[in-house]
Chains A and B, each alone.
Chain A
Amino acid sequence: MTNKVLDFERPILELEGKIRELKLLSAGSEEMASEISKLERKAQQLQKERFAKLSRWEQFQLAKHPDRPYTLDYIGELIDDFVELRGDRAYADDPAIVSGIGRFAGRSIVVMGHQKGRNTKENVYRNFGMARPEGYRKCQRLMRLADQFRLPLLCLIDTTGAYPGIGAEERGQSEAIATSLELMTRLRVPTISVVIGEGGSGGALAIGVTDRILMLEHAVYSVISPRGCASILWKNPEAERTAAEQLRMTAEDLSNLGICDERIPEAVGGAHRGLTVTANAMRTALSRHFDELASMSEEDRLNARYKKYRSIGHLEVAAQTGTPPTDE
């Protein structure tokens, strides 16, 4: 744990600290005990109220909280007999993405997800969860494996974005992401992605073109980071808070925009305050969606997936056509 505390977490953490102190002082006094449980209920209530009205910027902070559970934490909770499978068979293994096979609710499944590090050393190894082309090509390999053995696919999304570096460009970052997108639209098996933290642009979508898109309550998913957006449109990276509001990137926003199929409740105060509670909620949702998808024929599933993405967009029809470019 980094013990990093966000501003809006502080009052609750302070109250909880006081309650702990009181407990020590009360030494089993009955009068105090009822007072303490009252305070505990109050703290819970306070937390719920505060977290129900988080700004988008605060949600974004929570989504990338350094103590937030990462892919391997959820794999530990949800997947039995997990075996990591590595390498793209072309260039390298990319530790920014973890992938493998295991059992979910008793049945074999292919799992993959971005993996951030907990400390500097881990982050150097994991490249802060920002994948290079070989990471996406490893995913393609595992996706084909899922298809070949008819295993459902679960993708956990948690990345700031695909890595922008010289080597990544030399080895075709665009091609790697593009190929993943097309491949995912063609997989014959049930596929679900869950945004567990940060859904950062194309690097997130590269493992996110699935039958269902689920999001943890405090996860975000955006076309560009608030800071990147602010630099370009406001010409000032410090306008990132405003950009975060404009970008509509929270799970609630994405539900309203018809992109997120279900929001999965997190432990009160966020997933980092209760991994097991959060993972259990995820298990319930995943089981339900996988069951639904498994009951469909391959053809129906592929058609439904095509339709799902085909229909995304907000279009208007001009009353009169303008003067578009012609060769006249």
Chain B
Amino acid sequence: MAWWRRKKEPLERGKGDQKVSVPRGLWSKCDGCGEITYTDEFVQNLRVCPVCGHHHPMPTHERIAAMIDPETWELLDTELRSGDPLQFEDKKTYKSRIAKAERNAGSGDAFASGIGNIDGVPVSAGFFVFEFMGGSMGSVVGEKVTRVIERGVELKRPVVLFSASGGARMQEGILSLMQMAKTSAARGRLRDAGLPYISVCLHPTTGGVAASFAMLGDIILTEPRALVGFAGPRVIQQTIGQELPEGFQRAEFLLEHGMVDRVVSRLELREHIGALLRLLQNTPRRAEEARP
């Protein structure tokens, strides 16, 4: 089983070997099968249930640690903050929502961008911070995604984007919608430069993010059971007035309908991306790399 093979991996990052110090009281219950495991082991296993393989949501810093090779990540564009172009106010002001999200998510907006290596391949990469207002894309996210892509062109590096987003950020109105055009334009330039772009659609990727760069990868990967689609299930249900079929818009559904290339276990994702980038760029296999 794949997850056993990878089980020691997180130890290399100096996190897992403190297992003994975790109080015995810390348990995690699987959302898939109800199995109870030690939280520490659960986190080491990238929040994938060792029994049923259910993939649980993962904080962005853990995601970055799991996908980027140790000691290679350089976080960039951290100074960008959202303005409030519409002076938007619903039950709360947009400004107060941003301030709260920044405190809770520990991120300036819903995207973390930088450069680093994935399985030995230098890339320009970006990660949605779903914890920040549902990973919604406003001006800052659009700008950061665009910079990740442009940096790929500039540094001649492949681009890898990990999306997890409810879509455009309503509080920035039309400016959010236009980020779809902006990021897609940048994606075109990467295509012209002949550099690979792997889009990883994580749970969930919908709306304006799905309907722009996330669906424009040369290769599109997703994790088991991840929900990826244009309209949210609730909206569709309200529109058509009937129950949605089991597994609708899930990763396996997308695979069946030809919308993604592969559904990849989180425990194999990093190596998988590395192998694909080496194949796309016609560079040699890593010495220790197993054949896919």
User: Interface of A with B (CB < 8 Å)?
Assistant: 162-166, 168-175, 177-179, 181-182, 184-186, 201-202, 205-206, 208-209, 221-224, 228-229, 232-234, 242-243, 246-249, 253-254, 257, 259, 305-306, 309-310, 312-318, 321-327
The reply to whether B170 and A322 form a contact with Cβ atoms under 8 Å apart is no
Question: Which listed residue, A170, A182, A223, touches B177 by the CB 8 Å rule?
Answer: A223
Q: With contacts A173-B231, A181-B181, A314-B83 known, is A249 near B173, CB below 8 A?
A: yes
- B207: chain A residues within 8 A (beta carbon): 202
The reply to whether A318 and B175 form a contact with Cβ atoms under 8 Å apart is no
Pick from B13, B88, B175 the residue with the most CB of A within 10 Å.
Answer: B175
Which B33-61 residues have C-beta < 8 A from chain A? 59-61
The reply to whether B185 and A182 form a contact with Cβ atoms under 8 Å apart is yes
CA distance in complex: A326, B188 (Å): 29
The reply to whether B142 and A313 form a contact with Cβ atoms under 8 Å apart is yes
The reply to whether B211 and A174 form a contact with Cβ atoms under 8 Å apart is yes
- A221: chain B residues within 8 A (beta carbon): 174
The reply to whether B108 and A321 form a contact with Cβ atoms under 8 Å apart is yes
- B219: chain A residues within 8 A (beta carbon): none
The reply to whether B240 and A166 form a contact with Cβ atoms under 8 Å apart is yes
- Residue B271 CB within 8 A of the other chain: no
- B78: chain A residues within 8 A (beta carbon): 318, 321-322, 324
Q: With contacts A174-B214, A222-B174, A312-B175 known, is A246 near B88, CB below 8 A?
A: yes
Q: Which 9 A-B pairs have the closest CB atoms?
A: A164-B231, A313-B139, A325-B61, A181-B184, A314-B85, A327-B65, A173-B230, A174-B210, A185-B185
- 12 extra interface residue pairs, beta carbon distance < 8 Å, beyond A317-B80, A325-B59: A169-B249, A172-B259, A173-B231, A178-B215, A179-B216, A254-B174, A310-B186, A312-B182, A314-B83, A318-B81, A324-B107, A327-B13
CA distance in complex: A254, B163 (Å): 28
The reply to whether A322 and B107 form a contact with Cβ atoms under 8 Å apart is yes
The reply to whether A178 and B73 form a contact with Cβ atoms under 8 Å apart is no
- A181: chain B residues within 8 A (beta carbon): 180-181, 184-185, 211-212
- A233: chain B residues within 8 A (beta carbon): 90-91, 170-171
Q: With contacts A177-B230, A313-B143, A327-B61 known, is A224 near B170, CB below 8 A?
A: yes
- Residue B176 CB within 8 A of the other chain: yes
Report the contact-size class of chain B (Cβ under 8 Å from the partner): 35 or more
Q: List 29 A-B contacts (CB under 8 A).
A: A162-B231, A164-B231, A164-B239, A165-B239, A166-B244, A172-B215, A173-B231, A177-B230, A182-B191, A201-B168, A202-B177, A222-B173, A223-B170, A223-B208, A233-B170, A234-B90, A234-B91, A246-B90, A248-B173, A253-B174, A257-B85, A257-B173, A306-B189, A312-B175, A313-B179, A315-B82, A316-B82, A322-B107, A322-B108
Give the number of residue pairs across the A-B interface with Cβ within 8 Å: 234
- B138: chain A residues within 8 A (beta carbon): 313
Over the window 220-233 of chain B, the binary record of Cβ atoms lying under 8 Å from chain A Cβ atoms (1 yes, 0 no) is: 00000000111100
Q: Which residue of A lies closest to B189 (CB)?
A: A306
- B182: chain A residues within 8 A (beta carbon): 309-310, 312-313
The reply to whether A257 and B174 form a contact with Cβ atoms under 8 Å apart is yes
Q: With contacts A164-B231, A325-B60 known, is A172 near B257, CB below 8 A?
A: yes
Q: With contacts A201-B177, A314-B139 known, is A166 near B82, CB below 8 A?
A: no
A315 to chain B, nearest CB (A): 6
- Residue B289 CB within 8 A of the other chain: no
CA distance in complex: A166, B237 (Å): 9
Q: Which residue of A lies closest to B258 (CB)?
A: A172
- Residue B9 CB within 8 A of the other chain: no
The reply to whether A202 and B211 form a contact with Cβ atoms under 8 Å apart is yes
A259 to chain B, nearest CB (A): 5
The reply to whether A168 and B230 form a contact with Cβ atoms under 8 Å apart is yes
The reply to whether A309 and B86 form a contact with Cβ atoms under 8 Å apart is no
B214 to chain A, nearest CB (A): 7
CA distance in complex: A162, B231 (Å): 9
Question: Which listed residue, B170, B191, B245, B257, touches A232 by the CB 8 Å rule?
Answer: B170
- Residue B32 CB within 8 A of the other chain: no
Q: Which residue of A lies closest to B191 (CB)?
A: A182
B148 to chain A, nearest CB (A): 14
CA distance in complex: A197, B129 (Å): 35
Q: With contacts A185-B188, A205-B177 known, is A175 near B235, CB below 8 A?
A: no
CA distance in complex: A172, B220 (Å): 13
CA distance in complex: A202, B174 (Å): 11
A264 to chain B, nearest CB (A): 18
CA distance in complex: A318, B81 (Å): 6
- A168: chain B residues within 8 A (beta carbon): 230-231
- A322: chain B residues within 8 A (beta carbon): 78, 102, 106-108
Question: Which listed residue, A169, A248, A315, touches B229 by the CB 8 Å rule?
Answer: A169
A283 to chain B, nearest CB (A): 26
Q: Which residue of A lies closest to B111 (CB)?
A: A324
- B27: chain A residues within 8 A (beta carbon): none
The reply to whether A178 and B236 form a contact with Cβ atoms under 8 Å apart is no
- B170: chain A residues within 8 A (beta carbon): 223-224, 229, 232-233, 247
Q: With contacts A223-B176, A318-B80, A326-B61 known, is A247 near B213, CB below 8 A?
A: no
- Residue B151 CB within 8 A of the other chain: no
CA distance in complex: A326, B182 (Å): 27
CA distance in complex: A175, B59 (Å): 27
- B79: chain A residues within 8 A (beta carbon): 317-318, 321
- Residue B124 CB within 8 A of the other chain: no
The reply to whether A326 and B73 form a contact with Cβ atoms under 8 Å apart is yes
- A326: chain B residues within 8 A (beta carbon): 61, 64, 73, 75
Question: Which listed residue, A202, A247, A324, touches B230 by the CB 8 Å rule?
Answer: A202
Which B192-208 residues have C-beta < 8 A from chain A? 207-208
